[in-house]
Amino acid sequence: MNQPASYIPTKLQEAVNWAQKYSLFTYPFATACCAMEFMSTLGPRYDLARFGAEFPRFSPRQADLLIVIGTIVERQAPVLRRVYDQMADPKWVMAFGVCASTGGFYQNYTVTPGADQVIPVDVYVPGCPPRPEQVMDGLMALMNRIQDHRGNVQRELGPTATATPVLDRRRLPVLPDGTSMVLDKAQRMPKDGKVR
């Protein structure tokens, strides 16, 4: 971002973005019934592989796209945060279904009101569960975002094709064992029922 604009890096950035958007390795963080619909989306009838996002990697270190599939409860939120922190840059997040987007109809003591309370989310796919068509629509929206360099991480890192130094993303709140990211007691307890 700080670099002087020039023609060749811009074109190179576009090429990098084009390559990235067609080679998304996904990490399905599947917690609930939406995972059934995700399987259907991956299956031969809808075939997410046509968009290059065919390869679920069950290790966050090898994945570009974290798909949060299903309800995230408060007890599980630190795990989700840790999985996200383990992914290498650049990375994107899709919230799959209403529970991952907003908490859905679970407005209660235990469910996190959306995965975006814990990690930055790039694209939200509504539905309970969403139809495979909606998922593909969301994936294509995400691909447009990647091509335009508008992803959350892309915005933070700046142009990746130029020789900008890699930002130290460890300044983001990480979760070793409850240091920076864990809320202290005074922040945590809203006795009056107000949600932060």
Partner 1 sequence: MAQAVLDVLSKTIPDALVELGSYLGDEIALVRRDRVHDVLAVLRDHDETKMDMLVDLTVVDYLGQSPRFEVVYHLRSTAFGHRVRVKAGVPEDDPVIASATDLWKAANWAEREAWDLYGVRFEGHPDLRRILMYAAFEGHPLRKDYPQNARQPLVRRPDAPATDALTTTLRMHSHDRRVE
**Interacting residue ranges for partner 1, rule: CB under 8 A:** 74-75, 77-78, 81, 107-110, 112-114, 116-120, 173, 175, 181-183, 185, 188-196
CB of 75 to partner 1, least distance (A): 5
For residue 66, what are the β-bridge partners?
27, 93
What is the Cα–Cα distance from 35 to 155, expressed in whole angstroms?
29
Least distance (Å) between residue 98 CB and partner 1: 13
Q: Which is nearer to partner 1, 165 or 168 (CB)?
A: 168
CA distances from 110 to 71, 84, 107, 156 (A): 10, 21, 8, 31
Shortest distance, position 17 Cβ to partner 1, whole Å: 25
Contact assessment for residue 33 and residue 3, using Cβ atoms and an 8 Å cutoff? no
Q: How far is Cα 74 from Cα 108, in angstroms, rounded to an integer?
A: 11
Q: How far apart are CA 22 and CA 14, in angstroms?
A: 13
Nearer to partner 1, 58 or 192 (CB): 192
Output the smallest distance, CB 112 to partner 1, in A: 7
Nearest to partner 1 of 81, 91 (CB atom):
81
Minimum CB distance to partner 1 smaller for 45 or for 185: 185
Cβ nearer to partner 1, comparing 14 with 74: 74
Respond yes or no on whether the N-terminal peptide bond of residue 90 is cis (omega within 30° of 0): yes
- The DSSP code for 10 is H
Q: Return d(Cα 196, Cα 61) in angstroms, integer.
A: 31
